[in-house]
Amino acid sequence: GKHRIVIPCLGHFKEEYEKISKLYMNNKIRTTRYTLLNFLPRNLFEQFHRVANLYFLFLAVLNWVPLVEAFQKEITMLPLLGVLTIIAVKDGLEDYSRYKMDKQINNLVTKVYSR
């Protein structure tokens, strides 16, 4: 049969563990959707998949055309910017709470069964 070798990362096994663990993927849980680098582009991408946000974006762009300008250009952008900001803050806070929960779960002490 096949055997598996489990090397603890404590004590005098630490060097051997670090050498062997580079060869394999880790088993950390990651449920977050965003990182610091991709938060803004990915969040905007997700938000503009909503029809209402696309509608407000269309109105804002249309208001920059001089022929169809209904009122001040900046005022048209306020509802869209407000909604995008509120949803981005909400998504960021939810993702941060997921990050904290992942960190808590990944740092739990586990017991290893040994015959």
Q: Where are the domains of the chain?
A: 29-107
Write out pLDDT tens, residues 68-110. 777 787 888 888 999 999 999 999 999 999 999 999 988 887 7
pLDDT band at 113; cut points 50, 70, 90: low
User: Residues with Cβ < 8 Å from 18, sequence gap 6 or more?
Assistant: 9
pTM: 0.70
User: Residues with Cβ < 8 Å from 91, sequence gap 6 or more?
Assistant: 33, 34, 43, 46
pLDDT band at 8; cut points 50, 70, 90: low
Q: Is the pLDDT of residue 17 over 90?
A: no
Full DSSP string of the chain? --------SSGGGHHHHHHHHTTS-----------TTTHHHHHHHHHTTSHHHHHHHHHHHHHTSTTT--S-HHHHHHHHHHHHHHHHHHHHHHHHHHHHHHHHHHT--------
Tokens 């990362």 label which residue? Answer: 9
Q: What's the pLDDT score for residue 65?
A: 85
CA-CA distance, 112 to 37, in Å (whole number)?
37
